[in-house]
Structure 1
Amino acid sequence: MSQPRARAAVFSAGSWGTAVAKIMADAGSDVMVHARRSEIAEAINTRHRNPAYFPDVDLPVSLTATTDPAAALDGADHLVLSIPAQTLRANLAVWAPDIGPETVIVSLMKGIERDTRLRASQVIAEVTGVSADRVAVLSGPNLAREIMDGRPAAATVACPDEDAARRFQTACHTRYFRPYTSTDVIGCELGGALKNVIALAVGTASGMGLGDNAVALLITRGLAEITRLATAMGAHPATLAGLSGLGDLVASCTSPLARNRTFGVHLGHGLSVEEAMAATRQTTEGVKSAEAVLGLARVHDVEMPITEVISALLNDEVTLDEAAAELMQRPPRPER
């Protein structure tokens, strides 16, 4: 007798949520996406396409959609959350009563809550009251467009419960997507959130025409910043050299598909923050999280000069030229 197919609920129908929903459907789960807009849900159910993000990609027939969160959550083995980090608390408070007692909650979010400076997994545990063993994180160098095209990619699934991590690993392992497991939730989650701020800096430098040397400088010293803060908060240093650290940083800082880098390029071209937001057209977690990241650095007494300059630039406290000069005029010191 065959085993029943696993069920997954994916909130929401944005680019990364749709990509992970496709991965899980291709891996053998029945997936129901929660879409805010009824026309998106209808298109997924009737035409098997998401017209808002990937109008040219056919979705598996085992991937369906609904605007009813309770219907999406009914019987779900995994709840996969792919919504803006700053809206997580309010949305989750509404959805929490319908989350099953055995459902594993998986965060795809790469941001820090501004008011509390909490990671997404911490917000999830706080709002839902579930054990940390039921909260996992998926993070890595994952550009949604490439994954939707079936190009090879990998990521890290981090959860304190190794069995839960392995179950989700199985639920998203396909011929084109290779997940690894870890128990270092802090490192995996911070690597994803902190790299967004560095990607803003790299994009800004690229937009200003500062050259490839400057890009390499920012990526390398950015990784040093990320590692300093993450390890001060309890992460394992090796995690930051892995897929959810260095891997995600490289993809986000070098690909024109990466939204934080793209936002930075707009800033480097002289657009205001508001104009860059309009031009980027998607949630840019680094912009929302930069100040919270800087707050964490100060609490843990960690030096993060790139983050400090980007936060000042986003708050109109420095000009583009002043930002570039400030980084280059720091006192010389040993590299390590």
Structure 2
Amino acid sequence: MSVITFVCAGQMNSAITFPAFENGHEVRLVGSPLDRDIIDGLKKDNFHITLKRTLHDGIKYYQIEELEEALKGADLVLGGVSSFGLDWFCDEILPVLPEDVPVLTVTKGMVDLEDGTLVPYPHIFAQRQPEGKHLNLNAIGGPCTSYELADHDDSHVAFCGKDVETLKYIKSLLETDYYHISLSTDVVGVECAVAMKNAYALGVSLAVGLAEKRDGKIGSQHYNSQAALFGQSVKEMTRLLELIGGKPENIIHGAGDLYVTIFGGRTRKIGTLLGRGLSFEEAMAELQGVTLESIVISTRTARAVRKLAERGIVSLEDFPLLMHVDAIINQGAEVDIPWKDFTWNDFSLAE
């Protein structure tokens, strides 16, 4: 039996306690400063108030002030902060994590640099750890919703990091007959692929709202337009993955994550509202209080592409859907899918 300490009690981090506990490990779940009500509820009856699931009886729960105690004797640390808690995690958590314990983070995201380079969060964590400290940082990517993982639906993810043996070790702790794990040392490829899907999930979800607006019926089902936008999304994501130096096979993690995100969650909601005709400000007002990582990723990715275009490295014409999503979010543009920009002629086999 190993000791696994989960830092932050968000939905995904909490969902991974299921395979961890069922594999016979001691599980310790530590809440962030924003998770106090979650931890209080779990201590009472094991019910997670945002995941809406009852966690296993026997898990040990801690408030953030008890982090030092929760880390004693740990064999693995899972970090579950959202993108909006990135600075807090870097400033408050990384300095107190022991160097001899591998870290696995569920946080998906990228930061764009001044020259247009896109850097995945694991690299940001590495850069922002205290000087002289060398944490063994790894991350999870792939299509996996917290609810379905908690319900034991078959899920396939990728663990990525620099050290192969560490990845094998972490896999041995968490893999089950429903939680399937691939391994990769292509951190940029895996993490950037699953991060950029947030921007494109918003783009595909525009079609949902457009169909509802056209039919005058909430829940109206039309799949041709969604499928077309999905295909365009994968095309643009593949180009971005190549651009940042990720291995092309890791597009499967981004495409799979794109698929699952389109069918539910916060990103689908904002895209649907925009497609119905609400302005970005109106849509955000309706979703007040909801954190939307898709907005952050869309803005950062589009900004990076524009900088690369200014340097002559790419053409904006290769990313029409991303540019349209960015225009809606940051320039007040109305939804008007640029369908003609998606088409092309392939005469490569013509005589």
TM-score by length of 2: 0.83
Within a 5 Å distance, the mapping from 1:302-313 to structure 2 comes to 303-313=318-328
Aligned residue for 2:73? 75
TM-fit CA distance, 1:275: 4.6
Point out the more displaced range, 34-43 or 112-121. Answer: 112-121
Residue 270 (1) aligns with residue 277 (2): yes
> 13, 16, 20: which is aligned to 1:17?
13
Q: Deviations over 1:118-172 (max 9, x none)?
A: 321111101115548x221211111111111122111111112111111111222
Q: Which residue, out of 25, 32, 38, partners 1:29?
A: 25
Question: Alignment partner of 1:106: what SS?
Answer: strand
SS of corresponding position for 1:201: helix
Q: Verify: 1:66 aligned to 2:53, yes or no.
A: no
8 Å Cα contact 1:106-1:135 kept in structure 2: yes
Structure 1: gaps spanning 5 or more residues = none
Residues 43 and 231 (structure 1), Cα distance of their counterparts in 2 relative to 1, 3 Å cut: same
Q: Which residue is 2:224 aligned to?
A: 213
Distance 1:229 1:70, change over 3 A: same
8 Å CA contact 1:79, 1:104 repeated in 2: yes
Aligned AA (2:137): V
What is the DSSP-based 3-state SS (H/G/I as helix, E as strand, rest coil) of the residue aligned with 1:101? coil
Cα distance, 1:200–1:293 mapped onto 2, change above 3 Å: same
Partners of 1:186 and 1:115 in 2: CA distance: 15
Q: 1:115 & 1:314 partners in 2: Cα distance?
A: 20
In the TM superposition, residue 276 of structure 1 has moved relative to its aligned partner by 3.6
Distance 1:291 1:173, change over 3 A: same
How many residues are paired up? 322
Shift of the 34–269 alpha-carbon distance from structure 1 to 2, 3 Å rule, reads farther
- The yes-or-no answer on 1:301 pairing with 2:303 is no
1:218-255 CA deviation, whole Å, 9 max, x = no partner? 11111111111112111111111x3x2222122122x2
Structure 2 distance, partners of 1:52, 1:77, is 27
1:249 to 238, 244, 258: 258
Calculate percent identity across the aligned residue pairs.
21
Match of residue 295 from structure 2: 287
- Aligned partners of 2:119 and 2:188 also within 8 Å: no
> Could you tell me how far 1:46 is from its partner in structure 2?
3.0
Q: Which moved more, 1:195-204 or 1:9-18?
A: 9-18
Quickly say closer, same or farther: Cα 1:331–1:260, change in 2 above 3 A.
closer
Given candidates 34, 45, 54, the residue that maps to 1:47 is 45
- Residues of 2 paired with 1:220 and 1:293: CA distance? 18
Counterpart of 1:159? Answer: 161
Alpha carbon RMSD of aligned pairs, Å?
A: 2.4
Please say if residues 51 and 146 of structure 2, whose CA atoms lie closer than 8 Å, have aligned partners that are also in contact: no
So what's the TM-score if we normalise by structure 1? 0.87
Q: Which amino acid aligns with 2:108?
A: K
Q: Distance in 2 between the 1:281 and 1:26 partners?
A: 34
Shift of 1:29: 2.5
Distance 1:270 1:71 in 2: 51
Q: Which amino acid aligns with 1:9?
A: T
Q: Secondary structure of 2:119's partner?
A: coil
Tell whether 2:145 aligns with 1:143. Answer: yes
Task: Report if the CA contact (8 A) 2:320-2:342 is conserved.
Answer: no
Indicate how the Cα distance of structure 1 residues 276 and 72 shifts in structure 2: closer, same or farther if over 3 A, else same: farther
Deviation, 1:200, is 0.2
1:314 paired to 2:316: no
Secondary structure of the 1:314 match is helix
C-alpha distance in structure 2 between counterparts of 1:166 and 1:283, whole Å: 33
SS in structure 2 at match of 1:207: helix
Detail structure 1 runs of 4+ shifted over 4 Å in the superposition: 114-117, 129-132
- Alpha-carbon distance in structure 2 between the residues aligned to 1:281 and 1:72: 30
